[in-house]
């Protein structure tokens, strides 16, 4: 039992020595995870089709980014954090489906 305690102590001292030699470990905060799941791409109101009602929702979020009042995550079709021209191009392709 005494040998086991000495072994544990030696291992702990070795770990402490290696941490001191490397310096403090600074960890960056992980970026928040964005969930990007639209179901039918372009169907912003969830009615199963991409139509003028989805375009109306899209236009109300035009040129808005995360954190901006009026930003709608469902209108951010490419999930980059902003509703912009790339999202509009996707909506045009999906329109009428």
Q: pLDDT tens, 26-42? A: 455 544 545 556 578 99
- How confident is the model at residue 30, as a pLDDT? 46
Looking at the structure of the chain, the number of domains it has is: 1
Question: Quick check: 18 pLDDT over 90?
Answer: no
Least Cα distance to 62 among 96, 45, 86 occurs for 86
Q: Which two tokens stand for residue 66?
A: 């995360």
Task: Let me know if residue 67 belongs to a domain.
Answer: yes
Domain region containing 81: 52-94
Q: How many other C-beta atoms are found inside a 10 Å radius of the C-beta of residue 44?
A: 24
Task: Let me know if residue 70 belongs to a domain.
Answer: yes
- How confident is the model at residue 39, as a pLDDT? 76
Task: Let me know if residue 61 belongs to a domain.
Answer: yes
Task: Let me know if residue 86 belongs to a domain.
Answer: yes
- Summarize the confidence of residues 46-53 as an average pLDDT: 93
């Amino acid at each position: 039992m005494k040998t086991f305690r000495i072994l544990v102590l030696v291992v702990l001292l070795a770990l402490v020595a290696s941490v001191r030699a490397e310096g403090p470990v600074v960890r960056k905060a992980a970026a928040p995870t964005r969930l990007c799941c639209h179901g039918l791409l372009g169907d912003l109101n969830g009615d199963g089709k991409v139509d003028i009602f989805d375009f109306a929702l899209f236009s109300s979020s035009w040129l808005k980014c995360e954190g901006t009042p009026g930003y709608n995550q469902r209108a951010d079709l490419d999930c980059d954090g902003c509703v912009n021209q790339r999202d509009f191009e996707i909506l045009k392709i999906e329109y009428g489906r």
